[in-house]
């Protein structure tokens, strides 16, 4: 079994008859992997009500400084993440990469389905609605120097934490996993407990996946290392 087959099989396991809700958890485990049916609110986005409330307060405050925060990504289901993953995989393969190289390339910015913080309804990708949008908006350079979202970044770096929003994929060079994402903010009061529950869940997944036919040690190592470097490779105050 190659790495991709292992990943597919690993997440098939999670899907989800074997995934028993743990009574010690506050959140239904299905919600933590994007397969639940959470109550979400928002006009042009979808967030947990508590997160939306804090977001609206932050937006109102930013607006007073002439910054219109626009959410370009919020809640994302397992299926949606799977589409992103599959499309990128095909694209990188068509560029001549082998399976392993394609996966390594995908996980520079995108998560394995079932492991995205966007599954939780607590995380947002934002831009400034003021400047005209040209091409791909989520590029780090657009948030720095003379980029269109430099003012937004500076405002968020100063004020977002007052509303509970932190940057998981910060600029710390010693951080592992996903690259710097100046656009991705997480509502800490909800996402911290959800991550803690999520990590419990993954330990169980790893135990289950050891029963897979053909899953060799190397592939298990990949998944374990991915959880450590990518899922946990975030701003320390969000752990
Ligand atoms: Zn994001």
Distance 140 CA to ligand 1 centre (A): 12
The model's pLDDT over 72-118, given as tens digits with 9 standing for 90+, comes to: 999 999 888 888 888 888 899 899 998 788 888 988 888 888 889 99
Distance 213 CA to ligand 1 centre (A): 34
Distance 14 CA to ligand 1 centre (A): 23
The model's pLDDT over 188-223, given as tens digits with 9 standing for 90+, comes to: 999 999 999 988 875 455 434 433 232 333 367 777
Distance 232 CA to ligand 1 centre (A): 15
Distance 124 CA to ligand 1 centre (A): 6
Q: Which domains does the chain have, with CATH numbers?
A: 3-238 (3.30.1380.10)
Three-class SS state of 182 = coil
The set of residues, in sequence order, having a beta carbon less than 8 Å from that of 11 and lying 6+ positions away, is 112, 113, 114
Distance 198 CA to ligand 1 centre (A): 17
The fraction of the chain above a pLDDT of 70, given in percent, is 82
């Amino acid at each position: 079994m190659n790495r991709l087959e292992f990943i597919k099989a690993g997440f098939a396991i999670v899907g989800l008859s074997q995934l028993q809700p743990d009574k010690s958890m506050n959140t239904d485990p299905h919600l933590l992997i994007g397969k639940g049916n959470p109550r979400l609110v928002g006009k042009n986005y979808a967030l947990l009500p508590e997160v939306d409330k804090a977001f609206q307060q932050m937006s109102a405050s930013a607006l007073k400084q002439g910054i219109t925060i626009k959410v370009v990504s919020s809640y994302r289901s397992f299926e949606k993440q799977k589409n992103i993953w599959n499309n990128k995989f095909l694209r990188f393969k068509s560029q001549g990469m082998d399976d392993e190289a394609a996966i390594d390339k995908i996980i520079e910015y995108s998560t394995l389905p079932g492991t995205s913080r966007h599954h939780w309804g607590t995380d947002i990708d934002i831009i400034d609605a003021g400047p005209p949008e040209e091409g791909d908006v989520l590029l780090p350079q657009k948030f720095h120097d003379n980029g269109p979202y430099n003012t937004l970044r500076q405002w968020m770096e100063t004020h977002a934490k007052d509303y509970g929003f932190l940057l998981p994929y910060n600029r710390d060079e010693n951080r592992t996993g996903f690259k710097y994402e100046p656009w991705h903010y997480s509502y800490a009061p909800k996402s911290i407990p959800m991550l803690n529950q999520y990590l419990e869940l993954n330990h169980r997944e790893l135990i289950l996946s050891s029963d897979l036919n053909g899953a060799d040690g190397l592939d298990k190592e990949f998944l374990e290392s991915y959880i450590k470097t990518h899922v946990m490779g975030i701003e320390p105050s969000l752990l």
